[in-house]
Structure 1
Amino acid sequence: MLFAASIIHRSGALIQPFLLVFLTNERGLSVVNAGTVASAWGLGAILSPLLGGWFADHLGRIPTIMVGMVSSAMAAVVLIFTADFQYLIMIAFATGIAAELHQPAAGALSVDTIEPDKRPRVLSLMIWSANVGTTFAVMAGGYLASVDYALLFVINAIVCLIHPALVWRGARDLPRYQRSVETRTVGYKSALRDPLLVGILFLAAVLGALVGQVFVGLPLAVDGAGLSEADYGLIASVCGVVIFFTLPLATGRTDKYPRAAVLSLSALLLGVGWGATMFAHTVVQFSLCVIVWTLGEVGLYSVFGGLVEDLAPAAARARYQGLFWLAFGSKGLTAPLLGTRLYEDGGTVLWWVCAGVGVFAAVGFLLLAPAMKRRIANA
C-alpha cells in the first residue's frame, strides 16, 4: 500500500514539472522572474525535510505525512488563483514546504518495519515507485497543460488528499514507532559533526542541481528548439521509463562493487548526459541525452538510500533521512536559481557547467572512497 501511495502521489504531482512554462506562458513572467518563483518553491523544499524529520521522530510518521499532504493540496489550490509576482513567491515557498514535508517520514516509516539487510533495496524501490509516478505525471501533464493549466493544479490537489488515506490504511497495522531517550540526544548537530556524512551531503547537493535541470534547463531547451509542451512531456518521461526498467535490476547488483566507484561513475554519466544537451535539437536527440544522465541517476539511487541508513543511529533515522533529502532536495532552489540565469545565452554556459559539475562530483566520491570503505566495514 505504501508503494501504491507513492506511485499515485507522484503521478498527480503535476505542478512542478510545468511550473516554469506556466509562469512564463500564463502569468507573463520573464525567465529570470519565473526562476525566482521556482527558487522560492525550492527554498521551501530545502527547509521542509528538516521540519519533516523532526516532526516524524517526535510526533509520528503518519501524522507528519497527513499534515504535509493536506497542506500541499491547499497550497496548490491557492497557487492557481495567484497572479501577483510577490504573492507568487510567498505561495510557492509555502507549497515547497508542504510538498516535501512527508518525505523523511515516508522513508523512516519504511525503514521502521523492514529487516536491516532488506532496507537498501526497499528504499531504492520507493525511489523507483516515485519515478514511475513522475513519468506518468510529465506525460499526462504535457497533454493537460495544452488543454488548460488549471487541470494540473486541481488534479495535484486531489491526489494529495488521496495519498495520506492510502498511507494510513496501509500502515495502521504496522508496529508503532517507539520514541527512545536516545532520540533526544542524537540530533542534526551530532550528524553534522561527521565529516564523511557532510562530504556525502555536499556531493548529493551538487548533483541535485544537475538532476533538477529536468524541470528547468530541459523545458527551456525544448522550448528554445521550437518543440511543444507535449514534446517536453515525452522527452522527460524517458527518464522515468529508463528508471522503471533499470533501477530494480541495479538495486542489489551494485552492492557487488565499491559504493564510491558506483557513485563516481554515476556522477560522470550525469555530467556527460547534461553536457551533451547543448547539441540536442530534436526529440530523439534530447531523449538520447536523457537516457545517459538517467543511468547516472539510477546509480545514485541504488546506493544513496542504503549508504545514508548505514550512517544513521536507529533513534535518528528520520532526521538523517531529512538531512539527505535536504541536501539532494536543494536542487529545488539551486537548479532554477542557476539554471535560468546560466541559460540566458541559449544554454551553452549551463550545459558546460553541468558537465564540469559531473566531473567534480566524480572526483569527490573517489576522494571519499577510503573513509567510506572503513565506515561500511565497521557498520
Structure 2
Amino acid sequence: MPRSDPPPRPTPEPPPASAPPPGPCPDALPGPPTEALPRTVRLLLLARVVNQLGAFSMPFLTAVVFADHEVSLTTAGLVSAAFGLATIPSRLAGGVLADRIGRRTTIVLGLCGCAVAQLGVAAGRSLAWTAAAAVLLGLAFELYEPPSQAIIGESVPERQRVRAFSLFSAALAAGGMGAGLLAALLGHWDLRLLFVADAASCLTCAVLIRLALPHDRPAPRAYDRGATAVRPLRDRALLTVLATGTAYTLVNQQTVMTLPLALTRKGLPAADAGLLFTATAATTVLAQPLVRLAWTNRLTTPAALALAHLLLAAGLTGYAVSGSLPPMAASAAVWSLGDLLIMGRVYALVTGLAPPGASGRYLAVFGTSWGVAATLAPVLGTQLLARAGTTALWSAMAGMCVLLAALHLRVTPRPAGPASA
C-alpha cells in the first residue's frame, strides 16, 4: 500500500501578549555572545597579529641610540621624541588617505614605509642616520591605524563595537606575546635585530592585507561633500575625549618606551622588558571575557574608564615599589587589565561620536594622542629617570592615573546608544 503522508500538524497559537523580557541595560552589549564578526574584520585581525609579532622594536629605540652611539639620555630621548612628533602628521594623513585612496591601499602603503624605515634604523651607523630613519619611521608609523580602525567601526553593527575593538586589542596582544619573547631572545644578542624582525613582519602583514582584504574603491565626490561639513576639531565632545586620551597615552608610552631604561636603572637587563611585554599581552588575551561580564557591561562609559585608570594606578604603583622581575610581571598584569577596559570603550565611543562617513577622520584626530605621547614620553621619562629615579617616575604616572579616574566621572561624554558604550 502506498504510504500516505501524515496530516499536517496544526500551527501552535502564539502565546498571549505579555510584557517583553527585560532588555539589556543602556551600557550592555546586546546580541548573542557567539555572533560572528564579519570576514573582513577577522582577516584584518589575523593580519595585525602577524604584524605585531615583530612590533616590539620601538620600545628599544631610545636604548639603541643610547648604547650604540654613546650619547646622553637626553639626546637619546630627543631622537625618540622626533619619531613621536612625526607620528602626528602620519596619523592625520592616514585618516585623509583612507578616504581619498581607500583603506586597503593606505594600510599597505603604511606597512611598506615602516619596513623600509625599520631597516634604516637597523643599518644606521651614525647618530644622524639613525635619527633620520627614526623620523621616516614616524611619518609611516601611523598611516595604517585610522583605516584599520575605520574598517572595524564601519564593518560591525553598533552593538558589536566594544567587542570588536576589544578583540582588535587582543589580536595585537596575541602577536605581542610572541613579540615579547622574540625581543627577550634577540635583544640579548643585538637590539638592532629587533628592527629587522619588525620590518619582516610589516612586509608579511602588507602581503596578507593586499591579498585577503577586498579592494575598496573610494568615492571622491562623497568625500568632498563631507569634507566641508565635518570638522572633528570643532566637536567639543571629541576634544574632551582627546584631552583625557592624550594623558592616558602619555602614561601608556612610559610603560613601553621608558621601561627598558628603567630596568637598567634597577640593575636588570633592558631586554627583560620583553618578558614584561609578554606578561601584559598574555593578560590582555586571557582576560577578554572580562569585557563580556554582566557587571562590566552595566558600567557606564565614564565609570568603566574611571575603574580602568584605577587599575593602571595600582599596577604602576607596583612598578614603583618592585625591585625584581617577578613582582614587576604581576604589576604589569594588573595595569594591563585597566588597559583592556580602556581600549574597547574609548574607540567605540569615538566611533559613536562621528557623523556618518566621518569615522576615519574622527579616529585619526583622536589617534594624534598617541603621537603627542610618543613625542613627550621619551623626554619626560628620561628626565625623571635622570633626576629622580625609577620610583619617582612610576609614582608620578600612578598619580596621574588617579587624577584621570576622577576626571572621567566628571567630563567624559556618555554615549547615546549601547553600542558606543
The TM-score, its normalising length taken from structure 2, stands at 0.83
C-alpha distance in 1 between matches for 2:211 and 2:156: 18
The counterpart of 1:240, out of the listed 281, 284, 300, is 281
Give the 3 Å change call, closer, same or farther, for CA 312–19 of structure 1 in structure 2: same
Alignment of 1:308-319 (within 5 A): 308-319=350-361
Corresponding residue for residue 9 of structure 1 = 51
CA distance in 2, matches of 1:329, 1:263: 21
Q: CA shift at 1:119, angstroms?
A: 2.6
CA distance in 2, matches of 1:361, 1:108: 27
1:166 and 2:208 aligned:
yes
Q: C-alpha distance in 2, partners of 1:58/1:255?
A: 36
Residue of structure 2 aligned with 1:263, choices 305, 308, 317: 305
- How far 1:332 moved relative to its partner? 1.4
Rounded to whole Å, the distance in 2 between the matches of 1:325 and 1:236 is 22
Quick one: which amino acid aligns to residue 267 of structure 2?
G
CA distance in 2, matches of 1:362, 1:35: 28
Paired residue for 2:396, among 353, 370, 377? 353
Number of residue pairs the alignment of both structures matches: 376
Within the candidate set 219, 241, 245, 1:204 is matched to 245
The normalised TM-score by structure 1 is 0.92
Let me know the Cα RMSD of the aligned residues.
Answer: 2.3
Counterpart position of 1:298: 340
Of 108-117 and 1-10, more deviation after overlay is shown by 108-117
SS of residue matched to 2:124: coil
**Percentage of pairs with the same residue:** 29
Provide the rounded CA distance (Å) in 2 between the counterparts of 1:111 and 1:207.
22
- What's the offset of the Cα at 1:137? 1.2
Task: Write the distance in 1 (CA, Å) between the matches of 2:58 and 2:341.
Answer: 24
CA distance in 1, matches of 2:277, 2:214: 35
Query: Cα deviations across residues 247-267 of structure 1 (Å, max 9, x unaligned)?
Result: 343157533211100101111
Amino acid corresponding to residue 203 of structure 2 in structure 1? L
CA displacement, residues 86-119 of structure 1 (integer Å, 9 cap, x when unaligned):
3433321210121221000111123333223223
180-189 vs 223-232, greater mean Cα deviation: 180-189
Is the 8 Å Cα contact of residues 56 and 64 (structure 1) preserved in structure 2? yes
Deviates more, 1:108-117 or 1:290-299: 108-117
Q: What amino acid is aligned across from residue 92 of structure 1 in structure 2?
A: A
Partner of 1:219: 260
Q: Is the Cα contact below 8 Å between 2:61 and 2:80 reproduced in 1?
A: yes
State the 1:169 CA deviation: 2.1
Gaps of 5+ in 2: 1-42
Which position in structure 1 is the counterpart of 2:153? Answer: 111
Assess if the C-alpha contact under 8 Å between 2:77 and 2:382 holds in 1.
Answer: yes
Equivalent-residue separation in structure 2 for 1:99 and 1:29 (angstroms): 25
Give me the whole-angstrom Cα distance separating, in 2, the residues matched to 1:268 and 1:46: 28
1:181 CA drift (Å): 2.9
The code of the aligned residue for 2:407 comes to: G
TM-superposed deviation, 1:171: 1.3
Q: Which moved more, 1:351-360 or 1:227-236?
A: 227-236
Letter in 2 for 1:234: L
Q: Distance in 2 between matches of 1:221 and 1:187?
A: 47
Give the residue type in structure 2 aligned to 1:348. Answer: T
Contact 2:83 2:134 in 1 (8 A): yes
Tell me if 1:23 matches 2:75. Answer: no
Q: Is the 8 A contact 2:100 2:220 kept in 1?
A: yes
Cα distance between partner residues in 2 of 1:353 and 1:148: 32
Write the distance in 2 (CA, Å) between the matches of 1:127 and 1:187: 32
User: Are 1:98 and 2:140 an aligned pair?
Assistant: yes
- Amino acid in the other structure paired with 1:47: P
CA distance in 2: counterparts of 1:358 and 1:192, whole angstroms: 25
1:186-224 Cα shifts (integer Å, max 9, x gaps): 469722222221111110110101111122332222212
Residue by residue over 1:232-273, the C-alpha shift from the partner in whole angstroms, topping out at 9 and shown as x without a partner, is 221221110110111343157533211100101111221232
State yes or no: 1:190 paired with 2:231: yes
**Candidates 134, 137, 150, aligned match of 2:176:** 134
Larger Rg: 2
Structure 1 runs not aligned, ≥5 long: none
Q: How much has 1:47 moved relative to structure 2? A: 2.2
Q: Hey, what does 2:28 align to over in structure 1?
A: none
Q: Distance in 2 between matches of 1:186 and 1:252?
A: 39
Cα distance in 2 between the residues matched to 1:339 and 1:363: 24
Alpha-carbon distance between aligned partners in 1 of 2:287 and 2:134, rounded to the nearest angstrom:
33
Q: 1:310 to 1:103 in 2, by over 3 A?
A: same
Is residue 136–residue 237 contact of structure 1 (8 Å, CA) maintained in 2? Answer: yes
Mapped contact 2:153–2:348 kept (Cα < 8 A): no
